[in-house]
Amino acid sequence: MTTTQPLELLAPLSGVLLALDRVPDPVFSSRLIGDGLCIDPTSQTLCAPLAGVISNIQDSGHAVSITDDNGVQVLMHIGLDTVNLAGQGFTRRVVEGQRVEAGQVLIEFDADYVALNARSLLTLMLVVSGEPFTLLAADNGVVAVGQPLLQVSPGEAAEGAEEEEGDALFSKPLTLPNANGLHARPAAVFAQAAKGFAASIYLHKQTQSANAKSLVAIMALQTVQGDTLQVSAAGADAEAAITALVELLAQGCGERVTAPAEEVEVVAPVSSASVLRGVCASPGSAFGQVVQVAEPELSITEQGSTLAAERAALARGLQAATDALQTLQAKAAGSAQAQIFAAHQELLEDPTLLEQAHRLLDEGKSAAFAWNSATVATAKLFQGLGNALLAERAADLADVGQRVLKLILGIQDSAWDLPERAILIAEQLTPSQTASLDTHKVLGFVTVGGGATSHVAILARALGLPAICGVPAQVLALANGKQVLLDADKGELHLDPNLAEIEQLETARKQHVLRRQREVAQASLPAITRDGHHVEVTANVASLQEVEQSLTLGGEGVGLLRSEFLYLDRNRAPSPDEQTATYSAIARALGPQRNLVVRTLDVGGDKPLAYVPMDSETNPFLGLRGIRLCLERPELLREQFRAILASAGLTRLHIMLPMVSLLSELQAARRILEEEALALGLSELPKLGIMIEVPSAALMADVFAPHVDFFSIGTNDLTQYTLAMDRDHPRLASQADSFHPAVLRLIATTVTAAHAHGKWVGVCGALASEALAVPVLIGLGVDELSVSVPLIPTIKAGVRELDLDGCQTLARHVLGLEEASQVREAVRRYRAATVETSPVVEH
Ligand code: PEP
Ligand code: MG
């Protein structure tokens, strides 16, 4: 070991220091990438914490690493999930291989843009080469850029670089499926897995190679989706290493990938220059021609004529806009568009906005000037609040502002003369623009602004059109008429698509559209198997809006109302009246013939609630979660019971307790419910059931069954607790599979116990929303499938293709298999055989 002077790392930014444990991203907080610290930035320039060479700077400009002469390697990562911004908001000031001084500017970033468009601005500084360090600044304190922050002891890194020894084995080439290539998160997962083998391992991309155990080396390969990669290894466990790592790559290294590797492999690799990346706002794909959409500049005179004339002009403009919005709402009745235009209409009546405009009129300004200034100022205010949702509402305000402005100025909105097969490209598409589109001619949207929750995204999904947003601004320079391929599932716009890609995506798109149309058209039909067995298909919801949407998509009730999500973005508890009103509105929407299953607050673990403060726990998933927390704070539960009970006569009311693991929890909750029902003078209790999401509850289902009216199986938690795999762990994502026979056996135990006591069983975890799982769940005897709203038609259609008899044989078969992948394979074979020909199960 060499002895070298300790090295001081300077603060790369000004801001507030946070311990790594507090970063809400397990890849960083678990130190998978490396140990270090986190800064919540107050400055917008990232500077070098040490002198050295830029060993990697990501094309997207959100991450950079420096290696000093002693091999100390420091990675800085600006924000969380910022790779999705595809470079937008970042300006690189250095290049790879460049030598930099400590304190030198590396990257400038637009903090507002990043805060609004990415998950978080939290910036990480990690010693990825593994040397120990001590903190020089006070933990949780404020730091200034350039201030000494860490003292690193060089020469003490756990592992050094290694050479490939002996004859290396090479894997077959494979195509990288990750939408953003191997950026920090998947690269860390891959490097971590490689470190588990003694062999020396390299990852190859064309002529470049990277030490597979080095995160920075992998990131330096600058891989992109579609790259052809190979893994090589030399040493005793080389073969095992290659098998494991190739599988890990194919599965996305902990990231969700849109297509299995075999399917991706047939797509020709694409060079990064021919693809522009954004994020998926609405799924699907399309091949068409570029149509650039630009708003004309409006000329506004500042000075008004008489006050009376300008007031009248503003009033006329507002009235005409209200009329137009009402017509649009009527046309789109019941859809997402209608709600957006209702919100626009509300903005027109906003007193603060009108007050601002009138103040300017009183100062002698024109109606157009006054209205425009008021809307622009308010939109800016929304944008500056650091809240992504409000920022998106700013786009709505700009849209409605423009509508009124044109009416005041007497500018007619000319209907767009669109060519066939148009892919619309815009800085930002407004809801008004999208609503007036001829959807027969438009195949998709691509925008520079907007997010997955923007109204344009909602509209695109409602129209069933593929859309991506957050695409680099260079998209605005594409020539009208250029043929492009929009692959929204992957968040990509291909500028030079080849024929094979086009044909493949076109076929998939047509099949998808036809299938979806058929499923939606038949959504109101009941889910009855070919041999006459009815399965209830209900919705998992978190809002009244979702309940309404579920009814239009054939939902037969609500199988899971996640009540904690009704008030997620609040820092004060909703008042009892507010809670009552929310539940009653949902109950009324469902009516007396449908089930409403309200789950009581399921707070804790992955779902902290701002207005229910909790002590920090070492392992929140095993701590005071769900019913445990509610029984600790019975006043919360009492209040919620009272609010729910107010809906008793309005619907078929069910109350469900989450995370029950002991019979005593159910009994304690039932006592409280009975007391509250009595106090309200109710003669009959609503149905009371429990979620089965802890193995103890499943194994003891026969003990619970006499005390409940129903069970609903939460396969998300049941899987994590059965397999002891954190449901959010990036590396375990592919193994924490609810198709595992262990989970299925617990479902079988639960169903048998429930049916023996005449009680029904639902599944409300994500497994129920997987079409592939439906035959197994039906075969196991599950009575109700509560699924995510958009999937209701698909799951119902899936049930109608099956036979109960065949499903039961299949279920018996899969319970005896060894692992999840075998179950998936068995179901695939079963479906292929039954859907196309007669029901046969292969054993
Ligand atoms: C589950 O655990 O499967 C479930 C439905 O509950 P949640 O996902 O809300 O924890
Ligand atoms: Mg759960």
Each residue of 727-767: pLDDT tens digit? 766 456 568 889 999 999 999 999 999 999 999 999 999 89
Q: What is residue 254's three-state secondary structure?
A: coil
Residue nearest to atom 9 of ligand 1 (CA): 562
Contact 791, 769 (CB under 8 A): yes
Q: 561: Cβ–Cβ under 8 A, 6 or more apart, which residues?
A: 541, 542, 586, 596, 597, 598, 599
Mean pLDDT over residues 53-80, rounded?
Answer: 89
Tokens of 113: 């843009």
* Closest ligand 1 atom, residue 720 Cα: 2
Of 5, 90, 81, 13, the C-alpha closest to 45 is: 13
CA of 716 to the centre of ligand 2 (A): 6
Q: Give the position of tokens 């649009």.
A: 328
Contact 785, 514 (CB under 8 A): no
Quick one: which ligand is closest to 540's CA?
A: 1
CA of 608 to the centre of ligand 2 (A): 13
Indicate if ligand 1 lies below 6 Å from the C-beta of 562: yes
pLDDT (0 to 100) of residue 84: 78
Q: Is the pLDDT of residue 271 over 50?
A: no
Quick one: which ligand is closest to 715's CA?
A: 1
Indicate if ligand 1 lies below 6 Å from the C-beta of 717: yes
Indicate if ligand 1 lies below 6 Å from the C-beta of 625: no
**CB crowding 635-663: b at 16 or more within 10 Å, else e:** ebbbbbbbbbbbbbebbbbbbbbbbbbee
pLDDT tier at 534, thresholds 50, 70, 90: very high
Q: How far apart are CA 410 and CA 365, in angstroms?
A: 18
Q: Is the pLDDT of residue 129 over 60?
A: yes
Q: How far apart are CA 642 and CA 676, in angstroms?
A: 6
Ramachandran bin of 61, using left for φ above 0, alpha for ψ from -120 to 50, beta for the remaining angles: left
Q: Is the pLDDT of residue 38 over 80?
A: yes
Read off the pLDDT of residues 669-685 as tens digits, 9 standing for 90 and up.
Answer: 999 999 999 999 999 99
pLDDT (0 to 100) of residue 258: 62
Read off the pLDDT of residues 294-340 as tens digits, 9 standing for 90 and up.
Answer: 766 778 899 999 999 999 999 999 999 999 888 888 877 666 667 77
Q: How far apart are CA 361 and CA 602, in angstroms?
A: 51
Q: Is the pLDDT of residue 410 over 50?
A: yes
Provide φ and ψ at 155, rounded to 5°: 85, 0
Read off the pLDDT of residues 142-187 as tens digits, 9 standing for 90 and up.
Answer: 889 999 999 998 776 544 444 444 567 888 878 888 887 888 778 8
Structural domains of the chain, ranges and CATH numbers in brackets: 7-152 (2.70.70.10), 169-273 (3.30.1340.10), 279-293+416-515 (3.50.30.10), 307-409 (1.10.274.10), 531-837 (3.20.20.60)
Q: Is the pLDDT of residue 632 over 50?
A: yes
Read off the pLDDT of residues 639-665 as tens digits, 9 standing for 90 and up.
Answer: 999 999 999 999 999 999 999 999 999
- DSSP H or E run through 345: helix 336-348
Task: Kindly report the pTM of this predicted structure.
Answer: 0.51
Q: How far apart are CA 336 and CA 839, in angstroms?
A: 40
Among all residues, which ones are annotated catalytic? 455, 764
Quick one: which ligand is closest to 599's CA?
A: 1
Q: How far apart are CA 200 and CA 235, in angstroms?
A: 7
Q: What is residue 402's three-state secondary structure?
A: helix
* Closest ligand 1 atom, residue 717 Cα: 2
Amino acid at 383: Q
Read off the pLDDT of residues 467-521 as tens digits, 9 standing for 90 and up.
Answer: 888 888 889 889 989 999 999 878 899 998 888 888 888 787 788 788 889 999 9
Q: How far apart are CA 699 and CA 755, in angstroms?
A: 15
> What's the chain's average pLDDT?
85
Of 362, 336, 449, the C-alpha closest to 398 is: 449
Read off the pLDDT of residues 183-195 as tens digits, 9 standing for 90 and up.
Answer: 877 888 888 888 8
Contact 102, 51 (CB under 8 A): yes
Contact 660, 690 (CB under 8 A): yes
* Closest ligand 1 atom, residue 765 Cα: 3
Mutate which of 693, 743, 786 for ligand 1? The one with the most ligand atoms within 8 Å of its CB, which is: 693
Mutate which of 691, 719, 786 for ligand 1? The one with the most ligand atoms within 8 Å of its CB, which is: 691
Q: How far apart are CA 727 and CA 713, in angstroms?
A: 16
> Please, what is the end-to-end C-alpha distance for the chain in angstroms?
59
Partnered with residue 233 across adjacent β-strands are 169, 201
- DSSP H or E run through 102: none
Residue nearest to atom 8 of ligand 1 (CA): 716
Q: What percent of the chain has pLDDT over 70?
A: 88
